[in-house]
């Protein structure tokens, strides 16, 4: 359960950090282990945080607050329709990598199991190709440094400890 909590926290933290530079209407969807799905609208005025073993979700303008037991969560996804600061439409975040920096295993939110993942070092050299799985990608064999993870033409930078 602690590992799941750390994975969720990393994904939530990364998504929150990305939203500071844009105005975003974000939908958080939670898939429970029993197959039930719930969605919540969290914009600039909403928030996500942990309180003990609960993921607390406050929807925009504080209209609705929900506590979700972390042990019941199978998957959390974010869908963002964002508008850049200048008012021009921008692409939703394609995928995120967490934790970042990573020590051993990196997880990719927004990437489906079985998708091809390429990892490049800071010099642009391909250092690994993987099929993504829910268990993440084991990067423990790579030396510390900066890397780029690429999936379907989209990429994200990570640091390896």
Neighbours of 81 (CB within 10 A): 12
58 shares its domain with 112: no
102 shares its domain with 68: no
| pLDDT the model gives residue 86 | 39
Would you say residue 119 lies in a domain? yes
12 shares its domain with 75: yes
Band (pLDDT 50/70/90 cuts) for residue 69 is confident
64 shares its domain with 107: no
Which domain, by its residues, includes 64? 2-83
| pLDDT the model gives residue 7 | 54
Would you say residue 51 lies in a domain? yes
Beta bridge pairs of residue 26: 42, 80
Average pLDDT for 13-27: 46
Would you say residue 91 lies in a domain? no
Instruction: Please report where in the chains the tokens 């750390």 appear, as a residue.
Output: 6
Average pLDDT for 10-35: 56
* 104-159: pLDDT as tens digits: 999 998 898 999 999 999 888 999 999 999 899 999 999 999 999 999 888 889 99
Helix (H, G, I), strand (E, B) or coil at 21: coil
Would you say residue 7 lies in a domain? yes
SS3 content of the chain, % helix, strand, coil (to 5): 15, 50, 35
């Amino acid at each position: 359960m602690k590992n799941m909590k750390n994975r969720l926290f990393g994904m939530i933290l990364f998504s929150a950090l990305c939203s500071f530079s844009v105005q975003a209407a974000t939908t958080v969807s939670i898939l429970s282990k029993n197959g039930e799905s719930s969605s919540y609208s969290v914009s600039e005025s909403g928030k996500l945080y942990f309180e003990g073993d609960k993921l607390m979700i406050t929807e925009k303008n504080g209209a609705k607050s929900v506590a979700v037991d972390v042990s019941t969560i199978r998957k959390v996804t974010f869908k963002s329709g964002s508008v850049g600061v200048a008012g021009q439409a921008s692409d939703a975040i394609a995928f995120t990598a967490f934790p970042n920096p990573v020590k051993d295993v990196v997880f990719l939110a927004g990437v489906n199991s079985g998708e091809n993942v390429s990892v490049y070092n800071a010099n642009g050299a391909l250092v690994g190709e993987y099929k993504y799985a829910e268990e993440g990608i084991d990067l423990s064999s790579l030396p510390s440094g900066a890397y780029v993870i690429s999936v379907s033409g989209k990429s994200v930078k990570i640091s390896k400890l």
